[in-house]
């Protein structure tokens, strides 16, 4: 004789808390307008994430160059100018990390900070190049070349006079090229960061605090 199978609890039974019945499934507290906010914020987040990656790489490279320059200027070739410039570059790298942290949260102030940071970096490099051009001494270059005695007599080869004549032009050309590349590179990066501010403001308007927290909690 088979025992009858009890019927599955009805929704009414589940809602009344019948023993053994599944707990009632709570309704979503989000409505369609909330889901629309999430979709719009998710679409705008792509720009924020890309700018954040750029800021992270930029800050890391700048900080590495600055710290390496400080070590070189203190341990290898002592130079007050080198220490001052590389310390400033290190400061730019630290400020870049702060900008990167703000960028991750979609803070529009990150774009302004990072943009001006690039202008400061450009100014430091340009100042260094201008000082190097202004203080260049052909005699020092000739002395440095003459120290390479293993390669022959530079005086008999006429290299001393060639360095004296062409040295200033070569130095101005070298540092002038660095200035040009710096203005194009750092100027372009500054323009990139400044142009992200409008995108960040759009992200903030499309993503209220609770949506940004949702993204952080879910690591998306």
pTM: 0.70
Closest CA relative to residue 193, chosen from 123, 135, 117 = 117
What gap in Å lies between CA 211 and CA 113, rounded to an integer?
24
Give the count of beta carbons closer than 10 Å to the beta carbon of residue 65.
16
Radius of gyration of the chain (CA): 32
Handedness of CA 22, 27, 29, 35 (dihedral sign): positive
The mean pLDDT value for 48-62 works out to 91
Share above pLDDT 70 across residues of the chain, in percent, rounded to a whole number: 69
Residue ranges covered by each domain of the chain: 44-139+153-207
| Distance set, CA 105 to CA 30, 98, 218 (Å) | 23, 11, 14
| Distance set, CA 29 to CA 15, 26, 171 (Å) | 18, 9, 69
What gap in Å lies between CA 134 and CA 191, rounded to an integer?
30
Q: Say whether pLDDT at 5 is over 60.
A: no
Q: Read off the pLDDT band of 11 (50, 70, 90).
A: low
Handedness of CA 60, 62, 63, 67 (dihedral sign): positive
Chain mean pLDDT for the chain: 78
Q: Say whether pLDDT at 53 is over 70.
A: yes
Pairs from 2-11 (Cβ < 8 Å, separation ≥ 24): none
Q: Say whether pLDDT at 186 is over 80.
A: yes
């Amino acid at each position: 004789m088979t025992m009858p199978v009890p019927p599955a609890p009805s929704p009414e039974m589940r809602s009344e808390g019948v023993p053994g019945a599944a707990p009632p499934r709570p309704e979503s507290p989000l409505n369609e307008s909330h889901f629309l906010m999430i979709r719009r914020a998710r679409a705008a987040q792509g720009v924020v994430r890309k700018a954040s990656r750029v800021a992270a790489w930029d800050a890391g490279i700048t900080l590495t160059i600055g710290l390496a320059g400080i070590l070189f200027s203190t341990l290898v070739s002592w130079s007050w100018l080198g220490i001052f410039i590389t310390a400033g570059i290190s400061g730019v790298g630290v400020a870049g990390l702060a900008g990167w942290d703000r960028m991750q949260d979609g803070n529009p102030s990150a774009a302004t900070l990072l943009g001006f940071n690039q202008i400061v970096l450009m100014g430091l490099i340009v100042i260094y190049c201008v000082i190097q051009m202004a203080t260049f001494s052909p005699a020092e270059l000739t002395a440095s070349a003459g120290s390479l005695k293993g390669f022959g007599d530079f005086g008999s080869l006429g290299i001393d006079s060639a360095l004296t004549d062409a040295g200033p032009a070569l130095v101005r050309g070298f540092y002038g090229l660095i200035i040009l590349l710096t203005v194009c590179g750092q100027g372009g990066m500054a323009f990139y960061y400044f142009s992200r501010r409008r995108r960040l403001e759009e992200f903030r308007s499309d993503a209220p605090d609770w949506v940004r927290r949702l993204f952080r909690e879910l690591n998306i």
